[in-house]
C-alpha cells in the first residue's frame, strides 16, 4: 500500500515513518493486465466507463494472465487513426493475409453493450496452420462453448485496444506525443494461466509463445504501415477538399468510436 515499513533507526526516527511513505494515487485500478490511472481527485470508478465489459469477460481469468513479451512502436500517425484502424475489420483481407485465414471477415459480428468501448467478435476462429491455432495451448478454463473458439476485440475509449483469444490476450496502448501525427504504442502479449500443455517441455512452450508473439507483431506492423499511409492520405484529402463516407455494414464501429 506504499506505507514505509522500516528504516535504520539512526536515519529515520520512528515517529516520522508515517509521513515518509509513498503517497496514495487516486483512481488506480487494474483490468485485463493493465493499470488504469485517473488523476482526477473526484474520479468515477473505472467500472462506470467499462460498463458491462467486465461481465462479458467474467469467464476469463484476466487477473492471472502471464506476461510473455512486450514491443514498442513509434508510429507516424495520429492516435485516433490507430484506434479507428483497430475497430475497422473490413481491411483485414487487403492488409492481413495470414490473419484473414484465422479470423475471417465474414465471421465478424458485433458484440456491443453499454460502456465506453467498441466491441466485436470473430466466431468461430479458423485453425489455419498458424501459431494461434487452438491445439498449441490450453484455453482459459471456464469459457463457454462459443468462447472456446472465438476471438473478442474491444477498443476501450480512448486509447486501449484488447484482443482476446481462447488462450491469450494481447493489448495495444497508444500514447500521443507532443508532436502532432506522432504516437508511441506498446504491444503486450499475455498468456492464459495454465496455457502450457502438460506434455510440452518448457522450451517448446516458450517457442510456441514466441511464434504467437511474432504472429501478432506481424499483424501490428502491417497495421502500422497502413496507418502511416492513411495519415499521408488524409493530409492530401484535406488539401483537395475530399470527404470520406461511412459504409453502414462495416463502419458502425468507427461511427460509435467517433461519437464517444
The predicted-structure confidence for 123-132, as pLDDT tens digits, reads as follows: 999 999 999 9
Spatial CA neighbour of 258 closest among 88, 101, 142: 88
Q: What is the percent of the chain where pLDDT is above 90?
A: 75
Contact 71, 217 (CB under 8 A): yes
C-alpha cell recorded at residue 114: 453499454
Predicted confidence (pLDDT) at residue 256 exceeds the cutoff of 80: yes
- Residue 133's pLDDT is 98
Of the two residues 38 and 169, the one the predictor is more confident about is 169
Q: How far apart are CA 42 and CA 239, in angstroms?
A: 42
Query: Residue range 169-173: average pLDDT?
Result: 97
- pLDDT digit string, tens, across residues 187-244: 999 999 999 999 999 999 999 999 999 999 999 999 999 999 999 998 777 677 777 7
Q: What is the percent of the chain where pLDDT is above 70?
A: 94
The DSSP secondary-structure symbol of 148 reads G
Task: Name the helix (H) or strand (E) containing 240.
Answer: helix 202-240
The pTM of this model reads: 0.89
Report CA-CA distances (Å) from 197 to 43, 113, 147, 191, 241. Answer: 42, 34, 19, 12, 56
- pLDDT digit string, tens, across residues 139-158: 999 999 999 999 999 999 99
CATH architecture of the domain with range 48-258 = Alpha-Beta Complex (3.90)
- Residue 235's pLDDT is 79
The cell 496507418 sits on which residue? 227
Q: How far apart are CA 158 and CA 199, in angstroms?
A: 41
Tell me what the pLDDT averaged over the chain comes to. Answer: 92
Task: Find the distance separating the first CA and the last CA of the chain, reported in whole Å.
Answer: 34
Predicted confidence (pLDDT) at residue 77 exceeds the cutoff of 90: yes
Predicted confidence (pLDDT) at residue 1 exceeds the cutoff of 70: no
- Residue 26's pLDDT is 76
234-241: long-range contacts at Cβ-Cβ below 8 A with a sequence spacing of 24 or more? 234/81
Predicted confidence (pLDDT) at residue 14 exceeds the cutoff of 70: no
- Residue 41's pLDDT is 82
pLDDT category at 55 given cuts 50, 70, 90 is very high
Amino acid at each position: 500500500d506504499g506505507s514505509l515499513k522500516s528504516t535504520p533507526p539512526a536515519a529515520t526516527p520512528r515517529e516520522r515513518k508515517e509521513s515518509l511513505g509513498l503517497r496514495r494515487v487516486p483512481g488506480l485500478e487494474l483490468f485485463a493486465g493493465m493499470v488504469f490511472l485517473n488523476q482526477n481527485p473526484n474520479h468515477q470508478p473505472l467500472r462506470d466507463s467499462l460498463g458491462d465489459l467486465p461481465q462479458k469477460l467474467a469467464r476469463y481469468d484476466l487477473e492471472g494472465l502471464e506476461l510473455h513479451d512486450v514491443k514498442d512502436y513509434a508510429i507516424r500517425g495520429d492516435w485516433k487513426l490507430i484506434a479507428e484502424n483497430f475497430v475497422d475489420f473490413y481491411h483485414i483481407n487487403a492488409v492481413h493475409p495470414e490473419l484473414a485465414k484465422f479470423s475471417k471477415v465474414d465471421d465478424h459480428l458485433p458484440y456491443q453493450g453499454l460502456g465506453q468501448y467498441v466491441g466485436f467478435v470473430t466466431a468461430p476462429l479458423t485453425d489455419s496452420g498458424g501459431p494461434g491455432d487452438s491445439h498449441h495451448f490450453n484455453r482459459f478454463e471456464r469459457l463457454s462453448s462459443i468462447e472456446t473458439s472465438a476471438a473478442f476485440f474491444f477498443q476501450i475509449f480512448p486509447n486501449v485496444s484488447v484482443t482476446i483469444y481462447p488462450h491469450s490476450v494481447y493489448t495495444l496502448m497508444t500514447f500521443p506525443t507532443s508532436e502532432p501525427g506522432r504516437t508511441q504504442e506498446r504491444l503486450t502479449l499475455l498468456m492464459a494461466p495454465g496455457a502450457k500443455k502438460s506434455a510440452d517441455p518448457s522450451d517448446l512452450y516458450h517457442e510456441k509463445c514466441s511464434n504467437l508473439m511474432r504472429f501478432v507483431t506481424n499483424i501490428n506492423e502491417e497495421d502500422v504501415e497502413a496507418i502511416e499511409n492513411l495519415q499521408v492520405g488524409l493530409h492530401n484529402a484535406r488539401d483537395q477538399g475530399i470527404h470520406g463516407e461511412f459504409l453502414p455494414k462495416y463502419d458502425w464501429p468507427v461511427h460509435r468510436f467517433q461519437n464517444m
